[in-house]
Amino acid sequence: MKFFQSLLVAPAVLGFVTPFSAHATNINLSDSVYSQESIIPSFDSIYKSDWSYKAINDLAKSRGCLNSIPNRNISRFEAASIINSCLSNVVQFTDIENRLIEEFNPELALIKSRVDGIETRMNEFEAGVFSPTTSASFSVDMAIGAVDGYSNEEKLGAIYGYQIDLTTSFTGEDSLDISLDAGSGGHLSELDLNATTDDALVVDGISYTFPLGDKTTVFFGDSMDGSTLYSTACTYGGPTNALDDCGNYSSALAAGKGTTFGASYDFGNGFTAAIGYEGQGSSSSGLMTLQGEDAYGGQVAYSSDSYGISLTYGLIEAGIADTTHTALNGYFTPEGNFPSISVGYEWSHDDSAPSSSDTSSHYFVGLMFDEVGPGTFGAALGTKTPSVENVDDQLMYEAFYSYPINDGMTITPLVYVKEVNGGDNETALMVKSSFSF
């Protein structure tokens, strides 16, 4: 029986017995004192004067299972529990032990049936649980707030998002990862809270990652970002969709095409390189065809404790028209109580657009104060979407404070402003509660 099973079995066997420290004493179990007593009558209690009480007490000492039995009358089930505990691993019994087994046979049979039942239930339980190499993590986000200037969200609203992340390793170095999401959505759309249709739990992404040698890592999957193995140089982590990409809006290959794969190589000393791909493998268009849409990308990066830089390139093919994106990102983390600074700039070219609007740009600047009281304060500004040439930039500003209540709960108040060309700005005030377990 496995150790965990034995922990559950023990209470069934010894639940009525007060535990004592084990101490073995040599005695003669065939002493005539037992044979001179009459067999115990068939009632519930065993008295201290009964032969079985004396025999059980000596049995407990001789077998080293108990120092002594309770100094009082005991029930027949207590007596049987002591006998079962002391003789469960014994191969050959003495005459007195055989006599005890015969006397308490009904009670011993009942104990055995309970133990067998527990073992059966434990085996069924173990057959249904995760393998030892599988782990699960859960998170819940709840938010309440409103957006002034945006008619669909001006009224106070509340939404939630739920996520289950499953990870399994088959070799100790690989990783099969599955993300299951659900959420209400429909309001406070700037927050990424895993909104799904009718709150249904859906597979948000699945991937398998494994090493090739000491320096190369490969992954493939579905509904994942092609940039999964990228190391974009950014330390900012804001709660909104518009600014958490650090200015790396399209080159980061988050096109949502479906089939994904990629690889990364670690040169050492902080230098890395990675490639990624997204395609419509689950559709009739197929992968890498003129009928389908494909996204290819690559990145080179350097990172250290105090600063980092990355250059990212993305190519999105849609039939005969291509769109290219190039992004430059960097961060600097000074010593002392100064904030880390992250910046990003991306420029793009769309072959399908007319020459007057075929280029666009996107930029971002973010500050992170890691220790402001017990929490983290962040503030950022940037274009809310890429700005097409000859069109005024529409900026977004945000500030938030993440306050950890404990290891599994964080409260994050957020305020942001979005500029709207030709209209009123959007101003939002929200509070998000995050739970992880």
Give the pLDDT confidence of 155-190 residue by residue, as tens digits.
Answer: 999 999 999 999 999 988 999 999 999 988 777 888
Q: What is the DSSP letter of 183?
A: E
Name the burial class of residue 426, with classes exposed (0-12), middle (13-18) and buried (19+) by CB atoms within 10 angstroms of its CB: buried
Name 219's bridge partners. Answer: 209, 262
Q: What is residue 5's three-state secondary structure? A: helix
- Summarised one tens digit per residue, pLDDT across range 275-289 is 999 988 887 778 888
List of residues 6+ apart from 251 with CB closer than 8 A: 297, 312, 313, 314, 325, 326, 327, 346, 348
Tokens of 181: 């999401």
Return the residue matching tokens 């404990």. Answer: 406
Q: Give whole-number Cα distances, 354 to 149, 159, 295, 320, 385, in Å.
A: 32, 40, 22, 15, 19
pLDDT at 37: 40
Tokens of 124: 């069924």
Q: Give whole-number Cα distances, 174 to 2, 265, 307, 348, 419, in Å.
A: 28, 16, 29, 35, 45
* Numbered ranges of CATH 2.40.160.10 in the chain: 134-436
pLDDT of residue 2 exceeding 60: no
pLDDT at 124: 59
Are the C-beta atoms of 384 and 394 separated by less than 8 Å? yes
In sign, the C-alpha dihedral spanning 221, 234, 384, 321 is negative
pLDDT at 126: 57
Quick one: residue 7, left, alpha or beta (phi over 0 = left, psi -120 to 50 = alpha)?
A: alpha
Q: What does pTM read for this prediction?
A: 0.68
Angle (deg, nearest 10), helices 95-103 and 51-62: 120
pLDDT at 122: 65
Average pLDDT score over residue span 15-22? 34
pLDDT of residue 101 exceeding 80: yes
A 10 A CB-CB count for 264 gives: 21
**Residue 28 — very low, low, confident or very high, per pLDDT cuts 50/70/90?**
very low
**Residue 21 — very low, low, confident or very high, per pLDDT cuts 50/70/90?**
very low
Query: To the nearest whole number, what is the mean pLDDT of the chain?
Result: 82
- Residue 287 or 313, more confident: 313
**Residue 33 — very low, low, confident or very high, per pLDDT cuts 50/70/90?**
very low
Are the C-beta atoms of 83 and 104 separated by less than 8 Å? yes
Q: What is the spatial distance between Cα 339 and Cα 183, in angstroms, rounded to a whole number? A: 33
pLDDT of residue 266 exceeding 90: yes
Q: What is the spatial distance between Cα 137 and Cα 116, in angstroms, rounded to a whole number? A: 34
In the chain, what's the furthest Cα-to-Cα distance? 115
Q: What is the spatial distance between Cα 416 and Cα 411, in angstroms, rounded to a whole number? A: 17
Average pLDDT score over residue span 373-388? 92
Nearest 5 degrees, angle CA 87-CA 93-CA 95?
Answer: 125
**Residue 10 — very low, low, confident or very high, per pLDDT cuts 50/70/90?**
very low
Q: What is residue 122's three-state secondary structure? A: helix
pLDDT at 67: 60
Which CATH class, in words, describes the domain spanning 134-436?
mainly beta
- Summarised one tens digit per residue, pLDDT across range 316-356 is 887 777 899 999 999 999 988 899 999 999 999 988 888 87
- Summarised one tens digit per residue, pLDDT across range 41-67 is 334 678 877 888 888 888 888 877 776
Q: What is the DSSP letter of 286?
A: B
Percent of the chain with pLDDT over 70: 85
Percent of the chain with pLDDT over 90: 43
Q: What is residue 124's three-state secondary structure? A: helix
- Summarised one tens digit per residue, pLDDT across range 200-246 is 888 989 999 999 999 999 999 998 999 999 999 999 989 998 898 89
